[in-house]
Chain A
Amino acid sequence: MKKSNTLKRLTEKFPNSIIETHSFRSDDTAVVKKNDIMEIFTFLRDDPDLLYNFMMDLTAVDYMGDESRFEVVYHLYSLKFNTRIRIKAKVAESECSIDSITSLWASANWFEREVYDLYGIHFNGHPDLRRILMYEDFKGHPLRKDYPIRKRQPLIGPIN
């Protein structure tokens, strides 16, 4: 079983960083501590038995009311072994930041900008952290659960 293999390797290698794992509907998931994501992603990408070379998707979920409000969700894919894994890192509202993984995958650049734009999570070490979908003078972060769906803001053209 290749899939559980990844989770096994991961828990053996980082026993103190993995908070929990599950495989709901055969989607392997590991919840990790946010301070250790760089080592974990480097291991997942470079380990010869795992080789997760694609960073397919990066997003966040707002669990408003939970102890740590946000979860940054990464989806990785290994072309060689044809396996997928989801890594989640909890981010509290009080220190709303996480390390940027743009140094590992170029695709993270825009995905992280999107999460910053829509959720207001700061990515430490990101080379160009600006809004991407909303305009620069937009106030607030629209995908947060406490942003009202009917709220309107004046539209201002982009600034060069």
Chain B
Amino acid sequence: MSETTKDLYTENMIINMGPSHPVTHGTVKFLVTLDGEKIVDMKVDIGYLHRGFEKMCENSTWEQVMPFTDRLNYVSPLINNVGYALAVEKLIGIDVPERCKYIRVIACELSRIADHLTNIAASAMEMGAMTAFLYFVEAREFIWDLIESFCGARVTTNYVRIGGLKNDLPDGFKEKTLHALAEVRKFWDDVNKLLTKNRIFIDRVRNTGTMPPEEAISYGFTGPCLRASGVPYDVRKAHPYLIYDQLNFDIPVGEQGDNFDRYLVRMEEIIQSTRIVEQALEQIPKGPINICSPEYRWQPKEAVYDKIESLIFHFKTVVEGIKPPNGEIYFPIEAANGELGFYLVSNGGGKPYKCRVRPPCFPLTAAMPRMVKGGFIADIIPTFDLINMIGGECDR
């Protein structure tokens, strides 16, 4: 065969994959240069979901930014809410009550479970495993029902407030959560049996999209993808925020840094997050959920209607916005995809002077060409799936 074809004239083929391709969950365009089925070069084109997040923030009060953060990583919006609230609280220099911290941890970990479930479900489906998708989406339904029970929304949560929370957990939340987590574990066992030792699945993900640890660090990887490359960096352990230093959980680490390790790390993190939620529900104290500081956290409605001081504070904070002191801070938290950092600059006014988000999947998407070059075109699908690029967060 090679004897007969070696003198034939061939040329590389350039194809457009996306911006709206069925297997790229997220609007992104790959401009792939192919030699047969081998990827010679690849350019990634993002920005299709850009909506000027920073520009909007600079023209809104500090409180009004909260619903915008829902739309960053819309698979785990509560983590973005918590990240922004913690960043502003660091800028102001306030600390929330103990009960609020526990509820925030529970909210974060439920979101992390939902995010990982969605990611693995969608990845499996895009590689042809429809059953795993259905199982995990059903499992996610249990988590979303829980989220709906305490904040009233499933996706656009807008639950966390600067200096507290919108409301407390509903009655019977602990029992409902323990039941939901038990159901999630059942689905987890099923999908684990379906995928983890499945020859067809392993052939797609093993040794594809491999990233050695040094390069992963240089590319700015964080989160499950960095840990899959064997670097045990997790913001929850490195700089414990909220009450993560009082909880027992493990950080799963991969060995080869390929797509299969990313899948395994996420699967294990689901289990670790259920552990965290169970511990937090066990230890959660009673008490207030909001700080008592009317210049930063709105007073309860009864006080606003009954007391003139509260009414004045309410009026001032709603119209002018809360006013953090002059300064700049960076606050990282561990989102489902990696380090989500907020860099805030305040000039003492009611609106952020600068509100920068460090989106964890932005550097991951930037490394796509590095991960797939030299591989087959079919490797794009598991690699792009398992870095879990979320358009809302990557493009902002």
Contacts and interface: CB of A to CB of B under 8 A. Distances in A.
Interface stretch (A10-18, A34-42, A91-99, A106-114): A106-114
Nearest to B356: A59
Given A56-B341, A133-B395, A24 B328 contact: yes
Contacts of A90: none
Interface string B210-225: 0000010111101000
Given A54-B217, A61-B353, A134-B47, A107 B330 contact: no
24 contacts: A24-B327, A24-B329, A25-B91, A25-B93, A27-B330, A55-B220, A56-B332, A56-B339, A56-B341, A82-B238, A82-B239, A106-B215, A106-B370, A107-B218, A107-B363, A110-B366, A111-B362, A132-B47, A133-B46, A134-B50, A142-B55, A143-B55, A145-B58, A160-B16
B345 interface: yes
Interface in B241-298: none
A19 interface: no
Contacts of B90: 25
Contacts of B68: none
Interface in B320-372: 327-330, 332, 339, 341, 343, 345, 353-354, 356, 358, 362-363, 365-367, 370
A73 B329 CA distance: 11
A54 B220 contact: yes
Given A82-B239, A142-B52, 18 more contacts: A24-B329, A56-B341, A57-B343, A59-B356, A75-B330, A82-B238, A106-B219, A106-B220, A107-B218, A110-B362, A110-B363, A131-B47, A133-B46, A133-B47, A133-B396, A143-B54, A143-B55, A160-B16
B342 to A, nearest CB: 10
A158 B29 contact: yes
Contacts of A110: 362-363, 365-366
A88 B80 CA distance: 26
A82 B50 CA distance: 33
Nearest to A107: B220
A27 B329 CA distance: 7
Nearest to A79: B233
A26 to B, nearest CB: 9
Contacts of B222: 56
Nearest to B50: A133
- Chain A contact patch, size range: 35 or more
- Chain B contact patch, size range: 35 or more
Interface of B: 16, 29, 31, 45-47, 50, 52, 54-56, 58-59, 90-91, 93, 215, 217-220, 222, 231, 233, 238-239, 327-330, 332, 339, 341, 343, 345, 353-354, 356, 358, 362-363, 365-367, 370, 395-396
Contacts of A86: 328, 330
B366 A25 contact: no
B77 to A, nearest CB: 21
Contacts of B217: 53-54, 79
B127 to A, nearest CB: 27
A84 B54 CA distance: 23
Contacts of A158: 29, 45
Query: Secondary structure of the B side of the interface?
Result: mixed
Nearest to B342: A57
B16 A75 contact: no
A160 to B, nearest CB: 7
Contacts of A57: 330, 341, 343, 356, 358
Contact of B343 (A73, A105, A106, A149): A73
B219 A107 contact: yes
Contacts of A106: 215, 218-220, 366-367, 370
A86 B239 CA distance: 16
A29 B233 CA distance: 23
A29 B50 CA distance: 30
